[in-house]
Chain A
Amino acid sequence: MLLSDVLVGWIATTVPFWPLMAFVGLGVVMLVHRTPGERTVAWCVQGALGLSLLASVVTIISMLVRHQDMLVVDVGPWFSAGSYTFEVSFLLDRLSVTMMGLASVITQLIGRFSVNYLHREPGFARFFLLLALFATGMLLLVEAGSIDLLFIGWEMVGLTSAMLIAFFQERTTPVRSGLKAFTIYRLCDVGLLLAVVLMHHWLGSAEWVEALGMRPWPGQEVSLAVVPATVLGLCLLLAAMGKSAQFPFSSWLPRAMEGPTPSSALFYGALSVHAGLYLLLRAAPLLDRSPVASMALVGVGLLTALHATLVWRVQTDVKSALAYAVLTQVGLMFVEVGLGWYRLALVHLVAHASLRCLQLLRAPSALREVQARHAASQGARPPRVAVAHHVLPGSLERRFYRLALERFALDVLHEQWALRPLLWVGTWIDRAERLWVGALSGWAPREVEPESRLVSKPSRGESTGAV
């Protein structure tokens, strides 16, 4: 059966639409009325995810059958002012169709898994609500025909990621980890936003097709001077580094495992952590133009892989070890992209996402599996897997061991060099500000200080510096 281009386009458009419907419907009911029962929630979200899976399968099959490499779906303008118009359009090519299939299959499976896993959990409905929002964001991200639309999906994924890390919200640590992840996301998003505007500025359009050419992925070419291409490439690299937790920003990933297991598997095993990589693959022609950006990519990837492979060896819990294992592989994928092996990177991505998702889903029963294996082998020592670090000389090995135990103190460094100075400046200005207001209102601040503390204690707390 052959479907027309327009019909396939419409079907592909509905792929992110179904989960959005589920999110809006469920969200409004929860906000206005009351939280529905588990069965209703699961039925609603799973139905939407199923429809979106169906739509993406139909799209993939019809594109395969017709040997079509590329399809641009123009939905229409969203808003416009002056010469600027925000166009909503979707781009379906080999890269995005692959990612779309992967995303909808894995989301559907995780949704099914979570129905049992989170049974009678107080936040059951909240989890599914966020799952639907994540599916919308991720599918928008991979299908987006322009970098503007990609940014919307990107933000949705970031926000749901932070909210799911803080899923067990009555405890303090998950909440803090969620905030940490969001902070790093948000700071690195500066790179993406900059790239959005620069693309408009230099390439005249934010549409992938118009900016990067009509040839099917990955053979596109872009006519841009080396310097702008380098700047754009580095901006995108910054964005990807945040989302994919590359080296200086990698400390949030192991902490992100505080969330429920299915969401860890979905976000940090399978999809969200690869979103940065998808962005780089999408912008591959730009990277081709700029040796500096490519070299930076290789450098970042190698550093991450090295760092992560050192650290995972000494982790004492399975989820942290898996988190660093993810980083090792994603770092290697960055290297592949930097070297221009795009197809390899895509294959690597799909294989890694599937495997790691499974591993993370099985993580809660890892201990029992080890015990079972131990019993089966009747106490014989299993062969050691991680031996590469023994080639290091003894003193260096010990030093690296300590560093790895502390995860290279990235957390402390972030706090000390980024957050604390900012908060310090903020508190300092705040104090100056209060003095100024005091002076304005004809108040000698020192002489009335004790009284003011008595009267207005609640609003006078100093910033504690803790996030």
Chain B
Amino acid sequence: MSVDFLPLLSVLVVLPASGAALLTRVHEPGRARRVALGVAALTLVLALGVLALFQSGGPGARELASWGRVPLLGLSLRLGVNGVSVVSILLATLLSLGLVAAGPRQALDRATLGALLLTESATLGFFCAQDLGLMVVFWVAMLLPAKVLISRHARARPEDRVLRTFRTYLLAGSLPLVAAVVLLGLPGWQSGAEVPLGLSELFERGVLAPQQTAILALLLLAAAFRMAVVPFHSWLPVLMARGPFGVGLLLVNVHTGLYLLVRVAMPLLPEAWAAAGPLLEGVGLFGAFYGAVLALAQVDLRRTVGFLLVSQSGLMLAGLAERNAESVSGALLQSVAAAIPLTGLMMVVRALEARTGTTDMTRLGGLVRRSPRMAALFFLLGGAGLGFPGTLSFVGEDLLLHGILGAHPLVALPLLLTTAINGITFLRAFMRTFLGAPVHGQSLMLEAVEDLLPRERLTALSLCALAFLGGFLPGPMLRLREHEVSVLVGHESPSAHGDAGSHGAADLPH
């Protein structure tokens, strides 16, 4: 089995980066785009292959590829997948392909394409890594291409502002994680263990109770910055509004933060996590509500999408904090269910911006006349992201709702109001942008708007189709992660993690 996986996972991680390296040799823009598109498509195919092998295998988590270790720090270069990360890998490859395929031509120059591919590589590495030290390396590497890109764009002053915001949050989101890893690794280094930071070794060793709280706090801080949970969210809307196109992939960030919590924080520090649960849940719910109110007050479509995402990540954090099977699988599902359509939505917004030069709703209106398909796709993608029935996010929100409210009916109000307000925000944005009469003085400009091009349409349509198909048949995706979820909520002991055992309904009675 490991022979099958060994090259596959490593190739998966290395392929986009080598594509980026190849791009430096290609000078003609059209060819650069084609190369990037080919590489992204190939990566998706490989990810599908990983999924197929994983499904044929069965057990929950596996160490599958090992490339030796870095001697000084004791990092082991091990890659592997489990039920959660296999979905994350698919998500990252899919969204990268979508962005490369459908981004506006003028935004996709060579540098942006390279940054996109490098980010993809680092993200995939993060999801595959089985060593905490390696995860940290990828965690930082994920943001570096975007940072280089932004600093290249930051000639004018408003962009300079973006750069500084970004730098602040890059530091704030990475330093706590490094500190936490150092704390976790200390005992291992002192005792001279062979692999001080390997995930499975860490799970076996466990963490002493007095240290748990501090480490959890550091991990949470890092994840909260990455997920843009409310007190630490300011970078996301700013970047969405002002940043270059390539950072669009940062939408996956929400998922990365969630993954860090699910893969490391929850299994490694169960007692501290349980103790912090109520607090986290409160923070998450408050953040969700706060993001919803802010999104309602926005007039810029890009910022609206940004705050909607902030609101969603608050919901996910609350779901994880609740720690029952419904809420955890709801949070995991919702992170995929929101990321797919909201990326599509962001793409449509970018296409709109490329055509009209603005995303300010007060200056738009009546666009449906010239571009009915853009309007329809905007509507479907937005609806799919915010939990209208028949979509994947409906399933996610339903599970979250039952998980959280089933345990604490009292916290119902902010949660329900959040979902209600998010729906209103979206429909309001849709109606102001696409329906009604054009704003006075803008009608000439709006007359010239072109509908979505075939490649944009194809991407948006496939994201849409995924969201709706997933909503119609959510079973397979829920089953993929069933094993991990039941481990996380404590139906099985963490030591069973990584051992064989059919991941399926058979695990539940434990």
Q: Does A436 contact B366, Cβ atoms closer than 8 Å?
A: no
**Is B293's CB within 8 Å of the partner chain A?**
yes
**Is B401's CB within 8 Å of the partner chain A?**
yes
Nearest CB on A from B445, distance (A): 12
Q: Contacts of A194 on B, CB cut-off 8 Å?
A: 405, 412, 416
Q: Contacts of A425 on B, CB cut-off 8 Å?
A: 293, 297
Q: Does A83 contact B158, Cβ atoms closer than 8 Å?
A: no
B300-335 interface with A by 8 A CB criterion: 300, 302-303, 324-326, 329-330
Q: From the candidates B168, B369, B402, B412, name the one contacting A200 in the complex (CB within 8 A).
A: B402
Nearest CB on A from B139, distance (A): 21
Closest A residue to B366 using CB positions? A170
Q: A166-B435, A170-B366 are in contact. Are A461 and B416 (CB under 8 A)?
A: no
Nearest CB on A from B378, distance (A): 12
- Most chain B beta-carbon contacts within 10 A, residue among A84, A148, A201: A84
Q: Does B157 contact A451, Cβ atoms closer than 8 Å?
A: yes
**A433–B303 alpha-carbon span in the complex (Å):** 12
Q: Does A82 contact B427, Cβ atoms closer than 8 Å?
A: no
Contact with B along A130-163 (1 / 0, CB 8 A): 0000000000000000001001100110010010
Q: Does A458 contact B161, Cβ atoms closer than 8 Å?
A: no
Q: Does A443 contact B293, Cβ atoms closer than 8 Å?
A: no
Contact with A along B375-417 (1 / 0, CB 8 A): 0110010010000111000110011011101100100110011
Q: Contacts of B388 on A, CB cut-off 8 Å?
A: 155, 159
**Is B189's CB within 8 Å of the partner chain A?**
no
Q: Contacts of B478 on A, CB cut-off 8 Å?
A: 79-81
Q: A169-B436, A422-B293, A423-B296 are in contact. Are A441 and B326 (CB under 8 A)?
A: no
- Most chain A beta-carbon contacts within 10 A, residue among B234, B362, B424, B478: B424
**Is B420's CB within 8 Å of the partner chain A?**
yes
**A467–B160 alpha-carbon span in the complex (Å):** 34
**A91–B359 alpha-carbon span in the complex (Å):** 47
**Is B474's CB within 8 Å of the partner chain A?**
yes
Nearest CB on A from B153, distance (A): 14
Nearest CB on B from A143, distance (A): 15
Q: From the candidates A197, A426, A437, A438, name the one contacting B412 in the complex (CB within 8 A).
A: A197
Q: Contacts of A170 on B, CB cut-off 8 Å?
A: 366, 369, 435-437
Q: From the candidates B158, B165, B359, name the one contacting A452 in the complex (CB within 8 A).
A: B158
Q: Does B406 contact A200, Cβ atoms closer than 8 Å?
A: yes
Contact with B along A409-434 (1 / 0, CB 8 A): 00000000000001101110110010
**A81–B324 alpha-carbon span in the complex (Å):** 10
A345-361 interface with B by 8 A CB criterion: none
Closest B residue to A231 using CB positions? B409
Closest A residue to B397 using CB positions? A193
Nearest CB on A from B475, distance (A): 6
**A81–B165 alpha-carbon span in the complex (Å):** 40
Q: Does B158 contact A429, Cβ atoms closer than 8 Å?
A: no
**Is B485's CB within 8 Å of the partner chain A?**
yes
Q: Does A84 contact B165, Cβ atoms closer than 8 Å?
A: no
Q: From the candidates A81, A179, A193, A452, name the one contacting B325 in the complex (CB within 8 A).
A: A81
The bracket for how many chain A residues form the interface is 35 or more
B444-500 interface with A by 8 A CB criterion: 461, 474-475, 478, 482, 485, 489
Contact with B along A235-257 (1 / 0, CB 8 A): 00000000000000000000000
**A456–B160 alpha-carbon span in the complex (Å):** 13
Closest B residue to A196 using CB positions? B401
Q: Does A189 contact B398, Cβ atoms closer than 8 Å?
A: no
**A458–B373 alpha-carbon span in the complex (Å):** 25
Q: From the candidates B296, B324, B423, name the one contacting A82 in the complex (CB within 8 A).
A: B324
Q: Does A84 contact B475, Cβ atoms closer than 8 Å?
A: no
Q: Does A31 contact B373, Cβ atoms closer than 8 Å?
A: yes
Q: A81-B326, A186-B424, A197-B402 are in contact. Are A430 and B389 (CB under 8 A)?
A: no
Contact with B along A31-56 (1 / 0, CB 8 A): 11000000000000000000000000
**A430–B330 alpha-carbon span in the complex (Å):** 30
**Is B238's CB within 8 Å of the partner chain A?**
yes
**Is B299's CB within 8 Å of the partner chain A?**
yes
Nearest CB on A from B3, distance (A): 34
Q: Please tell me the number of chain B residues within 8 Å of chain A, measured between CB atoms.
A: 78
Contact with A along B339-363 (1 / 0, CB 8 A): 0000000000000000001111011
**Is B241's CB within 8 Å of the partner chain A?**
yes
**A436–B168 alpha-carbon span in the complex (Å):** 13
Q: Does B369 contact A193, Cβ atoms closer than 8 Å?
A: no
Q: Does A189 contact B420, Cβ atoms closer than 8 Å?
A: yes
Q: Contacts of B435 on A, CB cut-off 8 Å?
A: 166, 169-170, 175
- Most chain B beta-carbon contacts within 10 A, residue among A31, A194, A441: A441
**Is A401's CB within 8 Å of the partner chain B?**
no
Q: Does A462 contact B366, Cβ atoms closer than 8 Å?
A: no
**A440–B234 alpha-carbon span in the complex (Å):** 10
**A440–B406 alpha-carbon span in the complex (Å):** 40
Q: Does B161 contact A81, Cβ atoms closer than 8 Å?
A: no
Q: Does B416 contact A83, Cβ atoms closer than 8 Å?
A: no
Q: From the candidates B357, B359, B401, name the one contacting A193 in the complex (CB within 8 A).
A: B401
Q: Contacts of B208 on A, CB cut-off 8 Å?
A: none
Q: Does A429 contact B290, Cβ atoms closer than 8 Å?
A: yes
Q: Does B409 contact A198, Cβ atoms closer than 8 Å?
A: yes
Nearest CB on B from A99, distance (A): 20
**Is B34's CB within 8 Å of the partner chain A?**
no
Q: Does A456 contact B234, Cβ atoms closer than 8 Å?
A: no
Q: From the candidates B160, B298, B413, name the one contacting A463 in the complex (CB within 8 A).
A: B298
Q: Does B300 contact A458, Cβ atoms closer than 8 Å?
A: yes
**Is A172's CB within 8 Å of the partner chain B?**
yes
Q: From the candidates A162, A426, A467, name the one contacting B294 in the complex (CB within 8 A).
A: A426
Q: From the candidates A148, A172, A426, name the one contacting B293 in the complex (CB within 8 A).
A: A426
**Is A396's CB within 8 Å of the partner chain B?**
no
**Is B147's CB within 8 Å of the partner chain A?**
no
**A223–B376 alpha-carbon span in the complex (Å):** 47
**Is B1's CB within 8 Å of the partner chain A?**
no
**A79–B470 alpha-carbon span in the complex (Å):** 11
Q: Does B423 contact A186, Cβ atoms closer than 8 Å?
A: yes
**Is B428's CB within 8 Å of the partner chain A?**
yes
Q: Does B294 contact A458, Cβ atoms closer than 8 Å?
A: no
**Is B368's CB within 8 Å of the partner chain A?**
yes
Q: A81-B326, A84-B399, A426-B296 are in contact. Are A190 and B417 (CB under 8 A)?
A: yes
Q: A81-B330, A81-B478, A197-B409 are in contact. Are A459 and B296 (CB under 8 A)?
A: no
Q: Does B420 contact A187, Cβ atoms closer than 8 Å?
A: yes
Q: Does A426 contact B297, Cβ atoms closer than 8 Å?
A: yes
Nearest CB on B from A326, distance (A): 24
Q: Does A462 contact B299, Cβ atoms closer than 8 Å?
A: yes
**Is A171's CB within 8 Å of the partner chain B?**
yes
Q: Does B297 contact A443, Cβ atoms closer than 8 Å?
A: no
- Which 5 A-B residue pairings sit nearest by Cβ, starting from the closest? A82-B325, A426-B297, A441-B164, A197-B405, A152-B389
Sampled A-B contacts (17; CB under 8 Å): A32-B461, A79-B474, A81-B325, A83-B325, A84-B403, A170-B437, A186-B423, A190-B413, A190-B417, A193-B401, A197-B401, A198-B409, A426-B294, A430-B297, A433-B294, A455-B158, A458-B357
Besides A172-B436, A190-B413, 19 other A-B contacts (C-beta < 8 A): A81-B330, A84-B326, A84-B403, A86-B395, A166-B435, A176-B431, A176-B436, A179-B427, A193-B419, A197-B401, A433-B237, A441-B162, A441-B165, A458-B360, A459-B241, A459-B242, A459-B300, A463-B298, A464-B299
- Point out residues on A near B: beta carbons under 8 Å: 30-32, 78-84, 86, 148, 151-152, 155-156, 159, 162, 166, 169-172, 175-176, 178-179, 182-183, 186-187, 189-190, 193-194, 196-198, 200-201, 422-423, 425-427, 429-430, 433, 436-438, 440-443, 448, 451-452, 455-456, 458-459, 461-464, 467
